[in-house]
Structure 1
């Protein structure tokens, strides 16, 4: 794989529909880029990331509208996102779906990074297209965030609007298309791209939720992620932690040994990403705790031991530290909604 990374080929179907709604012949556009039609039908196929950058830049030049990529929201279908699309639809809440996006976004585009965090004023989704200050960056952000917001609206209702949006791009001469699409205050020229959802919106149970199905999709996605990115130390570390959790708190030396690394090497590689072994353990436990709490068939006592805690009070303290609420309160949202 070259340094530009790769993108899931079926995502390109969104791009072809996008250029079509702007009056460009999608078949001719595809041929110009040299992409075979059978590749776009292959759910396992991937295309070079640099080709996606070229395609968006070419589309921008032909269309002549700097807001054109926002209309990607009209062009997506769950199947275009592979297993991730269907895992999203079956998520219990938007927060759960955004956490899935955080974990598995590399499957869609290997240079993409998402970060979902619970903050005092809501749930924030930070997006990094991985292109630095390249001119194609704002186009990728518009393309991606418009799809993410459209996905939220499919699950939670078309009237949904974020509380706020931050964009790295300088303020356009005409910012109206962005305000019209997002329907909220937008700050341009910010250090990062992100949107904020109100906590009550992000954590409200969704009518499309199917927890057993979502957990099955997570298994497929984890296997796909591990197969695609053997160099992803965080995913490999999380997978090993999950395998050991029910036996108790996994130690750094034990996880490092399972990965064929020394403890010092593991810590050094995590530190290069701004992480510690404990932060990866906490994130893994939090992700799994939310999945277990979404399942009404599992008691909090059972979940306590499945996560490797020796007593329920320790789990309650940890979950409150991760999410700002007790496990019973998180589970109670579904009951009172």
Structure 2
């Protein structure tokens, strides 16, 4: 007889989209998980790759407490040994994963996240995934101990965010450094007035804003001869699906920002549980530093509405480090069961460390 306090995992064939939506939205209503694990994002993944996923369910007793998507792919360990990999809430294809999930994990409610991760890794260690590696991109740092037979490899990326309660008390200018504060005031004066924000009212207007964001984004990045998000052919149709679902329930917002009669740009943001995730942008170049003006205005806009955090997400640049008051870490992690490939990677790492000169 099962212990009603224990978490049990099982892999299932996906149910109908309507049935899955009902279950997922029930967890959304009760859970503290990120936007990237909400139905708006998950539905876009299923619409883009409908045949690729299985459902991972975590239950306690007769109640479902967590859901995630899983897919499989063949990769390599130590560039020599083939390995079957299971991917959590992502495809495992570099182009498809260019849409960039962050704050990855489970849609969950009524269960402690640490216990859930421990249960998942034990499930993986038992061989239930039929894979030697479990790949979880864009997760928050895992704090718990690993099962004895599981090792991990990770790639850490820094991200920035700001507590909007501080912004609500003093405004953005008083939260940032003196140099950034002076630049914001000078740029705002040069732009010709206070920043006005208009949010798209419905799906059609949101998609129109997204198209204008795309044009500005491409112009700016191509001018600098750099690759941009829209180079990926999957990016735009995927986000059309995200917008189409999220604009209806208020979890997606497209903003147009102007100063006087001048267009500054567009922001494409997600909202969930008090967190604003600043996902994509496109800025006009008729004024100096439009990105700073847009994000500063958006931070005050959301602070006035009582939201808690403005998250610039993974990646580092001068804008994020200037307006983001807290630096934190996201982790692209591979959990690994014992194999020749794992042993080879560990030996190679040991040899590199031994070869480094003593400090």
What TM-score do you get using the length of structure 1 for normalisation? 0.22
Give the structure with higher Rg (CA): 2
What TM-score do you get using the length of structure 2 for normalisation? 0.21
Higher RCO (CA 8 Å, separation ≥ 6 residues): 2
Name the one with the larger helix percent: 1
Name the one with the larger strand percent: 2
